[in-house]
A and B are shown apart, each in its own frame.
Chain A
Amino acid sequence: MIPKLAYRMIEEVVGEENVSDDPVILDSYSFQYLAELQEGGAKWLPRPAAVVLPGSTEEVQAVVKICNRFNIKFKAHSTGWGVWSGVGREGVILLDLRRMNRIVMIDEDNMYAVVEPYVTFAQLQVEAMKKGLTCHIIGAGANASVLASCTSMCGYGWTGIKMSHSGRNVLAVEWVLPTGEILRLGSLGCGSGWFCGDGPGPSLRGAMRGWAGTLGGLGVFTKCAVKLYEWPGPPSLEAKGATPFYEVEVPENFRVYVPVFPDWKSFADAAYMVGEAEIGMVMCRNAPFLIGMALSPSVKDFYSLWESGALKDARFNFVIVLGGSKRQVEYEEKVLRAILEKTGGRNHPLAEDEFTQRQLFLAMIKCCYNARGVFKASGSFHTSLGSLESWDSAVRGAKIGEALKKRFIEAGALTDDGGDNAWGGIYEHGYFGHLEELFLYDPRDPASKDGAREYLQACVNTAIEERLGFGLEALTEGAETHDMYGPLMCNYHKWMRKIKAALDPKNLSDHSFYISPSEEDQ
């Protein structure tokens, strides 16, 4: 419960129909993907004290100021997918930013867009394509929020080879601090527009998000600019057919390949060469289980495909999409062929099939099958390991992850995906990369969800023992994990705490998935 006066004041700001403390409404915000992997294993998160739907930066600011006046904790989310989108304790007001859903501008000449929190990648991409541009889309899929990924979370996608990851794509940012003040980062901070995140004006990208983002624990991001990239395809990709398989013609100036290699070593070498040659607008490793699931109309079809062994020789693969002018694509094809020759790779027969090519093209460019690949088989999945490293280190991490996961598969806790379900690729033409170990579990099965939780803990321990770096297994854990990793990594956790304390002196921005201002306060 929040004070009646505070509730009434919020009503005055956003309007009666945009705030609710009705349990019927609130409970729909208490059920989240991955909640069962939290300590205790309960599917339900704490119920927010109220949910507010602000419609503008001014409304967000006014609500945050009311929270400050009454000492009420708050938390904001955008598309709100994942346990970190929920509140971590009782008494917290949740700001659902759904009404802030505008693409503020697309600057074609300078290749960036300014978006509000509820703009999805799918929405931004279709509008950008009309202007010959496209955006980086994260692995979660095109249904995710552009702003949330760029400001508050980590996110890599299939175009990472060229477009890196979300943290690198964010430019200027408008940020309502936990105190209710508005901070404008980068060029926006000195009235020079949205074109740059790091100046002129304050450059606080590290404090704002670091690698993994603050997961709603440090105020509310209300607008941000993101980089756009050249799109050499048509202004719209017309998808024909009927669900579950829409089909898009692969444009003449694009090619889709699925090179496979004899082993991890040749796979890694080929990826380095692809990076050095700066070819490809998509390059991503998808384990056979993931490819099979994404391309199968039903779980039964997948199982038949899996059991047939047709995917076995596709293990050391990456999907690569070449796109550009006709001459560029011809050149890139020649380069790719030469790389395959040097590394003993070959194009997998799967990629020779036109239907599969069309599906892969659609999946890689529009990121529309992502959920199918991971949720449909067992009901849920999560990811582990996969910190940003050199590519050889990423491959080492994948091998370690596979060995570790096999133990849990053998114990019956996780779905048997062969052990290897490492997903990822090189970023920025091979400058660095990541491979995260996906795992599937049944959230309705107590043994499976307990096993999944134990596996995550084992990943934390392994990442520390093997010096694999801060990985994705730690995303849902908040301060406890930072306190474990921090001493091994320049005591970064202490800096995080200082940032939190400085920007949130009353500790009102719910830090359950970020970090507390002091260890005692956790």
Chain B
Amino acid sequence: MLEDYERYMEMCFRCSLCKWPPLAQVKSWRFSNICPSIQRYNFHAYSGGGRLIVAYAYLQGRIGLTKSLVDLVYRCSMCGACDVSCKHNSDIEVYETLHAFRVQLYEEGAVLPKHREIIENTLRHGNPYGEVKEKKAAWAKNLKVKDLNKEKADVLYFVGCTAALRRPEVAVNTVKILKAAGVDFGILGSEEPCCASTAYKIGARDVFEKHARRNVELVNKLNVETLVTSCAGCYRMFKVEYPTVAELGFEVLHTSQLLEKLIRDSSLKLTGKVPLKVTYHDPCHLGRLGEPRTPWSGVEKKVLGHLILTDPPKPVRRGGGGVYDPPRNVLKSIPGVELVEMERIREYAYCCNAGGGVKAAFPDFALWGARERVEEAKSTGAQAIVTCCPFCEINLSDALNGDGSLKVYDLTSLVAKSLEVGE
């Protein structure tokens, strides 16, 4: 319920910290913005704090459910950067409040046509793209991968809709790497369900919960030890959000984490040289939004007059607990690869601006944000951007539009290349 978040709206002190990286991490004027939405549209309402105020105005009946309200709420990639910057100094749950606002609008029927399409596709076809489900297995043809619908394995490789349908090379490379490392794994092929990440971010709570329960039950039944995924969005759903509605009987890893482990225990030996200067783009859903939740229920109490405590102490997700080092460590393990960092990284990384339904509903805005990230990548002198999310890869590539100034790779591409050269 949106009302449950009213206290956070009231607590916004309008400092605008949500518009910049945590102040200790401001490194230049040029790259000192953290929120694509306020950077693009400028009115305060487009910032994290501004949206809290708008939610409060809505809750108080000062403004109604208008087209412009819905437009404002959804011109945001829900990247969570505002939340990190705010919580560097406060305990205000900005992200959770903005998410609750979307849920409220969705439940009142205020859904953008493009988002309605995504939700219907998710429900009808098992993917947000509206592709027939058989297409999801096409990439695996001739790869001789275990089919976990029929066979058993230790690891489920959960490919994700975007990798399977839009970036099949990610899936193909991942399979090559896992095989090279001798991992006992399998896939679900055309039976692999959608994680419902986009539906979740749009605010379709019913769709999310249905998928969460069903997906967890499905994977639990497979008796795998580990689920590994190529997609930052799927990772976040399984690792962070599903545990709020179902109990997982398996470990959840992102490909980068598994690769780091395999390299560390020498199951995977990267000897082939890949001479490339790269910079790493942290996907929001693997980074700050990939920080696990610690369940909490309790009450607020006051001591020293008005010093507000939570009882028991409420753990606050500030974004520092996401997956940041594994992809970097993997890159550093590839002979020839030189990693140079952008200014905005880790929990204060700038979003590629594809998520939260933005790419579907506001494609120009999605590209605008991606171009800003590309400019930052170029400023490092890197030849390529590496990321760990096929959706980020798509949007960053679209922003470059094949201009040849930078390449965009999924992490697995470079690992596979190193294996190939090393053979």
Listed in ascending order, the chain A residues whose CB lies under 8 Å from chain B are 17-18, 20, 22-25, 27-33, 43-44, 51, 53, 79-82, 96, 98-99, 103, 119-120, 122-124, 126-127, 141-143, 236-237, 239, 242-244, 246, 248, 298-300, 303, 306, 362, 366-372, 375-380, 409, 412-417, 440-445, 448
Contact = CB atoms under 8 A, between A and B. Distances in A.
A126 B308 contact: no
A377 B25 contact: no
A362 B11 contact: no
B346 A122 contact: no
A143 B90 contact: no
Contact of B14 (A80, A248, A300, A414): A80
Contacts of A81: 14-16
Contact of A371 (B20, B24, B42, B90): B90
Contact of B42 (A53, A236, A300): A53
Nearest to A85: B14
Given A24-B54, A378-B308, A127 B89 contact: no
A27 B302 CA distance: 31
Contact of A366 (B13, B24, B45): B24
B292 interface: no
Given A377-B307, A414-B305, A239 B50 contact: no
A252 B316 CA distance: 35
Given A99-B42, A246-B24, A298-B313, 7 more contacts: A81-B16, A244-B87, A300-B309, A370-B89, A379-B306, A379-B308, A444-B10
Interface string B381-402: 0000000000000000000000
Contacts of B15: 33, 81, 141, 143, 371, 375
Interface of B: 7, 10-17, 20, 22-29, 32, 41-45, 50-51, 53-54, 56-57, 62-63, 66, 68-69, 72, 84, 87-91, 302-310, 313, 316, 318-321, 346-348
Given A243-B88, A244-B88, A24 B307 contact: no
Contact of B43 (A51, A239, A303, A377): A51
Contacts of A103: 29
B22 A243 contact: yes
A417 B306 CA distance: 10
Contact of A32 (B14, B42, B308): B14
A375 B90 contact: yes
A70 B44 CA distance: 26
A23 B313 contact: no
Given A33-B14, A44-B62, A442 B90 contact: no
B347 A242 contact: yes
B20 A120 contact: yes
Contacts of A122: 20, 23, 26, 32
A375 B89 contact: yes
Contacts of A53: 42-43
21 contacts: A20-B43, A23-B57, A24-B72, A27-B54, A28-B43, A28-B57, A31-B14, A32-B14, A33-B13, A80-B14, A80-B16, A142-B23, A143-B23, A246-B22, A303-B303, A371-B89, A377-B306, A380-B13, A414-B305, A442-B308, A444-B7
